[in-house]
Amino acid sequence: MNSVKVKILLPFILLASILTSTAQVNNDEVLMTIAGKQIFVSEFLNIYQKNNVKGDMIDKKSLDEYLDLFINFKLKVKQAEEMGLDTVASFRTELNGYRDQLAKPYFTDEATLNRLILEAYDREKTDLRASHVFFRLAPDASPQDTMIAYKKAVSAREKLMQGASFESVAVEFSEDPSAKDREATQQHPFLKGNKGDLGFFAVFDMVYAFENGAWNTETDKVSMPVRTEYGYHLIKVTARRPALGKVTVAHIFLAIPKNATAEDSARVHKRIDSVYTKLTGGATFEELVKAYSDDKGSAAKDGVLPAFGVNRMVPEFVEAIYSLNNAGDYTKPILTSYGWHIVKLIERKTQKPIDEEKAELKQKIMKDNRGDQTRQVVIERIRKEYGVTENPEGLKDFYKVVTDSIFFGKWKSSLADNLTGMIFKIGNMTFRQKDFADYLASTQRKQEKQSIEVYVDKQYTEFLNESPLKWENSQLEQKYPEFKALMGEYRDGILLFDLTDQKVWSKAVKDTLGLDSFYKKNKNNYKWETRLDASIYTVTSAKAVQKVKNFIKSGLSDTDLQKEMNTDSLKVVTVEIGKFSRKDNKLIDSIPWVPGFSGDIINKESTVFVYVRKVLKPEVKELNEARGLITADYQNYLEKEWIASLRAKYPVDVKKDVLAKIK
């Protein structure tokens, strides 16, 4: 929320203090009536108590002040309602946006979220290296296609269990194109296959299902087929390392030319060994980078690469960095698919205490597909609380009316106009076939054709999951009084902000005639104290000081003086011209306030002195000289006038006996 709006949201809370005892007060009693609307004790005390930060004991004076602020606030909201500001589209959009934010905690299962946070924090401590054999499968694949892919994965795993190497099985069976060598084309050079090796990765680097499969597989073992949104995977974890964290390194890089011969490769190898010998012999890393590195981008920065995580570099590069413990340590020459490197550690950022990482981990989880777990727990809780009754026959009716046009985004819900029965119930709310037809029409998109039955069943499951959430969302105000109260505060706060902007803030800025009239009536409130009309001179040459003073005595203007004394290549004198009040400038405060020259302040680089032209007597400020202060006072004036008009327009009746109980 805009910080200004936060301050304005409930301006009357600033004097609030906590009640230490309200035993004699009934929250359901009417405390006051404002413009015919009853205000209950509970509403008044809720905000009064909630916003106290000092924990002061209640006293009658502060309560009376608070009561006035509260009444003024409610009167302004009443006028905003009468003006229809609560029906404006922009108001509704803004309020709904705040409601969406306030509702989020009610649809997050905290126990599940905390479990996922602890799981992610624990996994942060370890990096994995893994290989996979991949069998592609669409997320919405039919049961038949799913079984075919699963059997392929099981068959490949059996070969592995019989002793076949993982690399050979990956090359033969994997549908991940990177597993196999790819011949050069016009689009790309020859690409050597990785034989299923995915390199190192950390928590959040892979989709959650794959991450789980890897973390739950022992090192050098092969998992059972793991289903992700992309298909099935056989996963082999080949290494576990204490987490690298986020590192910054520098490197000296010697590239191996494309299509290099064995002799070319040997020549590069010999050169990197020579560079390494120079490094161990005392040459600095930085000078060797500039002299030898083929990575010209990083060479301009002493070889330093942007900070990266474990999955951002090829495995050989990462493997070498694990051995570097301290900033300044460097590796022996290492070979990657790009060439030879010598790597130096600059900085390593490792895991922080969990309290410092919790907020960031929560954010990552809610963006990641693992966050769906918290949503699913809430759905199940709602279903259990209200009860769900389904009508399977009502679903089957859609197998006949949904056509292949839905896979082109062109299906019309009118094809289901004859379907009017119940499809499921949540509590006492009935969802009819018409509702599901509208859902199908609104969620359709272009996609590959599939079985109508499979598609309808999948969409029905989504609809059945979303509907309890929408139902629960619609019940928040009824189920949770604190949510209802908070929404009321936000609603009134936005109305107050919009109306105050019209009546006070923007009006004070735009109403130039009103501001001018206010200034003329109150201008004696805006006066300058005694000031000095003076200039401060800083002269960099001791020999030039008297010359500068002579120019000043002759009446030469400060602008002409600087032109006379300064050249393009040499600035002899600088001048600060102004009308100075007390505390504006320490030097001005330190000199006698009389016309003429002050004493010289001499330091190593310059001589500083002040020339006082005139001592200015107190005088009224012009409007432009104090516009900010005058505008603020004009806003206060408009506010008081506005409140007075509201008090005259709307009746206010405070129940003194109820107020006395609070006091």
Task: Burial-class residue 398 by CB neighbours within 10 Å (0-12, 13-18, 19+).
Answer: buried
**Cα dist. 489→85, 215, 281, 549, 600 in Å?**
16, 47, 72, 66, 62
Work out whether the CA dihedral 293, 297, 301, 304 comes out positive or negative: negative
State pLDDT tens for residues 22-56: 446 688 899 999 999 999 998 888 877 765 545 55
Residue indicated by tokens 């196999």: 180
CB under 8 Å to 82, separation ≥6 — which residues? Answer: none
DSSP tag of 617: P
pLDDT given at position 7: 39
Q: What is the pLDDT of residue 8?
A: 41
Give percent of the chain with pLDDT exceeding 70: 94
In whole angstroms, what is the distance from residue 6 CA to residue 38 CA? 26
- Between CA 65 and CA 93 the distance in angstroms is 34
pLDDT digits (tens, 9 = 90+) for 627-636: 999 999 999 9
- Split at pLDDT 50, 70, 90, the class of 58 is low
Tokens 């107050």, located at residue: 496
Average pLDDT, the chain: 91
- The yes-or-no verdict on residue 461 having pLDDT over 70 is yes
Q: What is the pLDDT of residue 208?
A: 96
**CA–CA distance from 333 to each of 1, 194, 279 (Å)?**
54, 22, 11
CA-CA distance, 639 to 593, in Å (whole number)?
42
Position 3 scores a pLDDT of: 40
- Structure confidence by residue, pLDDT tens digits, 4-16: 344 344 443 333 3
153-190 pLDDT per residue, tens: 999 999 999 999 999 999 999 999 999 988 877 776 77
C-beta separation of 575 from 561 below 8 A: yes
Q: What is the pLDDT of residue 21?
A: 40
pLDDT tens digits for 131-147?
Answer: 999 999 988 788 889 99
* DSSP characters over 540-583: S-GGGHHHHHHHHHTT--HHHHHHHH--SS---EEEEEEEE-TT
Percentage, residues of the chain above pLDDT 90: 80
pLDDT at 436 over 70: yes
Nearest CA-CA partner of 324 in 351, 297, 344, 350: 344
